[in-house]
Amino acid sequence: MKFHTEYLWFNTQKRREYINITRQVEDAVAKSGIREGMVLVSAMHITAGVYVNDAESGLIQDIDEWLEGLAPFKENYRHHRTGEDNGDAHLKSLLIHHEVIVPITNSKLDFGPWQQIYYAEFDGMRRKRLIIKVMGE
């Protein structure tokens, strides 16, 4: 089995952003030379996430509003007693989750219709990274 690892770095302009990283993951798969296997894409921070869904702007806004409704930005999270202000970002990350695994078939991401990979930032405006780990033959 072969492995190939790459990192993506982000420093978003806003506290919450959703970034389509499908192209970068496809590029990592191509560089790996792996024809059959899988790719793990994982946020390496506890206030970010990775998900697979449609690349449609209305849906992205719906996802953001849904997350804000479930875990709104507010001042009274117990976590904030530590001096932080990002309790909501931790909860949003739990809802989205921090990683996805996508199959690779014939050297390509084996997606269903409309599927894309997104990095979801919930506590941005500082440098963060993500790992792409391609595994297979």
The predicted structure's pLDDT at residue 91: 98
Q: How confident is the model at residue 115 (pLDDT cuts 50, 70, 90)?
A: very high
Residue corresponding to tokens 């992205």: 60
What is the spatial distance between Cα 132 and Cα 44, in angstroms, rounded to a whole number?
10
The predicted structure's pLDDT at residue 126: 95
Arithmetic mean of pLDDT, 24-31: 98
pLDDT in tens, 53-91: 999 999 999 999 999 999 999 999 999 999 999 999 999
Q: Quick count: other Cβ atoms within 10 Å of Cβ 94?
A: 13
The predicted structure's pLDDT at residue 24: 98
The predicted structure's pLDDT at residue 10: 98
CATH T-level assignment (fold) for domain 2-136 = Jelly Rolls (2.60.120)
**Residue ranges of the domains in the chain?**
2-136
